[in-house]
Structure 1
Amino acid sequence: MRTTDIGHRTMAMPAHPAPLGRRAQVPTGGAPCPIVAMTTRHFRRDMQRIAVPHVEAQLVVRLGPTIPGGLDIHALGVRPKVQRKFIRGGQHAVLVRLQPGTYERALGVSAGELTGRMVPLEDLWSRTHAHALQEQLASAPDTEAACTLLKTAISAHAARTTSARAPSPLLQAALDLLQVASVTRTAQALDISERQLRRILHDAVGIGPKTVSRLVRFQQAVRAAQSARAINWSNIAVDAGYYDQAHLIAEFRAIADSTPRMLMTELRSA
């Protein structure tokens, strides 16, 4: 694939990035679109990549002379901790975040089976479909065309997978509520038990509601710090739903193996 040097660019499905827990565009037939957003990245030099965890699974395409065969495609399950990986310069990547509740349709594997794993696409799709997509991506003229190919292929696979279980109708409400409420209050608001809530989230995302809530708070804190001119961790802690700054620091150590200040330095360097 001939790539354009576009650095780091995010393309959402639809036109604007969908916040965590927001339903993506719904196509004909009532099933949610499998894709939340697509991000393209060009790693111009050798560097340490810092991946902040999301509650969405991802499909990742990597291209470049340091990749065996010049191209590979992997599915990444939800990872509850920050990931650090050394990347060789010259690589391009397209990252596709998938809508919770669509993993089985889009990838052919349940959310629970994918959690914490990186699996080659050819181990999930039929070898014929996986290799056809690889060939198309290898000959794509640029990253814009590659994104279009990925969207088409993922949507087509989701349409073919008619045996996948439909997500709970309470899934979206649960994801929305966990951004602002505790697990107990979320279950109460949905009029279900906490055990039912855990099953709904595990089936659709691969992790339980407590982990979802932790990752949501962490993401909100990181985004707030990245957008602030002067970082006030006490205010960020309150706004993100932590008890206090000490709680925020403890969660950063648990999720990122780092203090908040150190993590922000890493992210700026990356």
Structure 2
Amino acid sequence: MTVDVHPPGPAYSRSAPFPPTPQHSLNFYPGDATRSRVGNEAFADLPACVIIGPQTTKVELAMGAHHRFVTVAFHPGGLFRLLGLPMPELLDRPLDATDVLGREIRQVNEQLQEARHSLALKNIVEGYLLRKLGQHAASPLERSIRRMLQGNPTDTIEKIADLSCLSLRQFERRSREVLGYSPKFFARVIRFSQAYRLKVRQPHSTWTSISHQCGYYDQMHLIRDFKEFAGTTPKLITREILAAPLTLQDDLRI
């Protein structure tokens, strides 16, 4: 996904929330620097390219007058294949991509800064990833975990493990390695993200309706997840969404 926006108001005067999603990503910022913070910490500039692994905490992003970014959202296991790093090492820990991927990523950043159009940005990043990842097919584990994103209520963890050709214990251990957390926790992040993005797209929908659509047993389970992953209640999240200068997850497809 490529975005080129001019946020309203003075540069860095307002921030937009970005709560956890089930996707790992590689984010490029070829325009003005983007700043981030967690909780009440001070805002800090992000590097020109950031690796985002498993995320369990909401961050706030503040943008300059000319905000451009390219986001590569990986299918489950994709970032693990690219880096070869156990994902628990990246839990709530964004990394400067140049520290991990080296000179090549610096060259990509330089090319992105010279690009003038969204299609050029997309082609530069896609070319880099094709060179790095090639045409390797996803493993049975990755394909089975990807199925969890569909939210089929009949797909138990045991069934997903069976589809991955692993025992339940092996599946849980390998999932922690490629996702950064257990399959059950991953399922909670998926459900929370679905509920949050549905509210972004349909701000006038009730939380009762959203909780039912996203498979929550009751509204208390939804409130628990929002407190854990967004740091606040669904009621306050509604105000936050309406007050944000722009929404960063309304075009996210999972």
What TM-score do you get using the length of structure 2 for normalisation? 0.76
Q: 1:63 deviation in Å?
A: 2.9
Distance 1:43 1:75, change over 3 A: farther
Q: Distance in 2 between matches of 1:182 and 1:195?
A: 20
In the alignment, what sits opposite 2:237? 263
Q: 1:58 deviation in Å?
A: 0.9
Distance 1:43 1:254, change over 3 A: farther
In the alignment, what sits opposite 2:118? 143
State which of 65, 75, 86 in structure 2 corresponds to 1:99: 75
Distance 1:90 1:245, change over 3 A: same
Name the amino acid aligned to 2:152. V
Moved more, 138-147 or 223-232: 223-232
User: Which is bigger in relative contact order (C-alpha 8 A, separation at least 6)?
Assistant: 2
Q: 1:189 deviation in Å?
A: 5.4
Name the amino acid aligned to 2:51. A
In the alignment, what sits opposite 1:195? 169
State which of 22, 26, 29 in structure 2 corresponds to 1:59: 26
Q: 1:41 deviation in Å?
A: 4.3
Distance 1:71 1:91, change over 3 A: farther
Counterpart contact for 2:47–2:96, Cα < 8 Å? no
Distance 1:190 1:70, change over 3 A: closer
SS, match of residue 92 in structure 1: strand
Deviations 1:219-242 (A, max 9, x none): 121233233363222222122121
Counterpart contact for 1:225–1:236, Cα < 8 Å? yes
Name the amino acid aligned to 1:243. Y
* Equivalent pairs, count: 227
Moved more, 97-106 or 167-176: 167-176
Q: 1:66 deviation in Å?
A: 4.6
State which of 218, 240, 246 in structure 1 corresponds to 2:192: 218
Q: Which segments of structure 1 move beyond 4 Å, counting only runs of 4 or more?
A: 65-71
In the alignment, what sits opposite 2:59? 83
Moved more, 86-95 or 46-55: 86-95
Distance 1:72 1:96, change over 3 A: same
SS, match of residue 212 in structure 1: helix
Q: Distance in 2 between matches of 1:119 and 1:57?
A: 12
Q: Distance in 2 between matches of 1:198 and 1:113?
A: 17
Deviations 1:239-265 (A, max 9, x none): 212120122112111111111122122
Percent same amino acid at aligned positions?
Answer: 26
State which of 127, 137, 142 in structure 2 corresponds to 1:152: 127
Moved more, 96-105 or 245-254: 96-105
Q: 1:117 deviation in Å?
A: 1.7
Q: 1:266 deviation in Å?
A: 1.4
Distance 1:259 1:147, change over 3 A: same
Q: 1:134 deviation in Å?
A: 1.9
Distance 1:63 1:180, change over 3 A: same
Q: Distance in 2 between matches of 1:208 and 1:223?
A: 23
Q: 1:59 deviation in Å?
A: 0.9
Name the amino acid aligned to 1:180. N
Q: 1:205 deviation in Å?
A: 1.8
Structure 2: 5+ residue stretches without partners: 36-44, 245-254
Q: Write out aligned runs for 1:104-143 (5 A).
A: 104-127=80-103, 129-143=104-118
Q: 1:75 deviation in Å?
A: 0.9
What TM-score do you get using the length of structure 1 for normalisation? 0.72
Moved more, 80-89 or 234-243: 80-89
Counterpart contact for 1:71–1:138, Cα < 8 Å? no
Q: Distance in 2 between matches of 1:71 and 1:80?
A: 21
Q: Distance in 1 between matches of 2:237 and 2:24?
A: 23
Distance 1:41 1:209, change over 3 A: farther
Name the amino acid aligned to 1:53. P
